[in-house]
Amino acid sequence: MATDNIAVNSSTGLDGNSYTSSISNDELTNDDFLTLMITELKLQDPTSPTDSAQMLQTQMQMSTINTNQDMVTAMQSLQQSFSQTALSNASNIIGKNIEDGNISENGINKAYTVTSVESVDGQVLVRAQEMLYLESKIKLTDPDDSSNDILLDYNTAGEIIDANGNKTGYKVALNNPGDPIIKDSSLVIYDADNTEVSDHNYALAGLSSAVYSDELTDIPFSQITKIF
């Protein structure tokens, strides 16, 4: 019988003998209860016998409680195993692009790139950066040698940035962020005075890259509608 943390309460009867009135221990097992029941039956007052039906009912209640506790433990173990498997499966989408069915302000499906996954209170969450838009890249062409073409960036205002991160003083005209205006098969470029430059060596590079939000978004793995 488990003996740790057992509290035994006793009282003195009219005959001067000490009798156990109650025993409390959250760790009592069915075997412990049977031992106590047999001991009580041995020591019971013959003139006032213990109600065996009541004792049997109590034993059955304890058995049910133990069974329920075992079931809860098994369910918790199963849930933990499921969470581990789900987390392992979710890790396969790190670095991939996803959609969650939400629509952006411009009416298209929001897209994200997954940076990490984690399990929070048994729920698998995907941490991702939202793609704000696709930016068409531009280049500064070399009329004499195309192998010397330089790939350049530009900010949301269209200001062109050189390879050292400095503003060039030129600006590409944009329809929308990342979407340069093309006129007569050529980029529309403005100088520092916002005057359109008709003779320039800027052109589309034929490449595009995603521009991301600075904030990370947590998305339940179960809400992902597309992986690409």
Per residue in 152-164, pLDDT tens? Answer: 999 999 999 988 8
pLDDT (mean) for 133-139:
93
| pLDDT the model gives residue 123 | 85
Q: What value does the mean pLDDT of the chain take?
A: 81
d(CA 39, CA 47): 17
d(CA 142, CA 148): 6
Decide: helix, strand or coil at residue 4: coil
| pLDDT the model gives residue 74 | 65
pLDDT (mean) for 126-130:
95
| pLDDT the model gives residue 1 | 46
Confidence tier at 112 by pLDDT (50, 70, 90) = very high
Per DSSP, what are the bridge partners of residue 151?
Answer: 139
The pTM score is 0.56
Name the residue with higher pLDDT: 216 or 28.
216
Tokens 């007052």 sit on residue: 45
Q: What does DSSP say about strands 167-172 and 159-161: parallel, antiparallel, or unpaired?
A: antiparallel
Confidence tier at 114 by pLDDT (50, 70, 90) = very high
| pLDDT the model gives residue 29 | 64
d(CA 192, CA 157): 13
Does the pLDDT at position 166 exceed 90? yes
> Mind listing the pLDDT tens digit for each residue in 22-60?
555 555 566 766 776 677 667 666 666 655 566 667 666
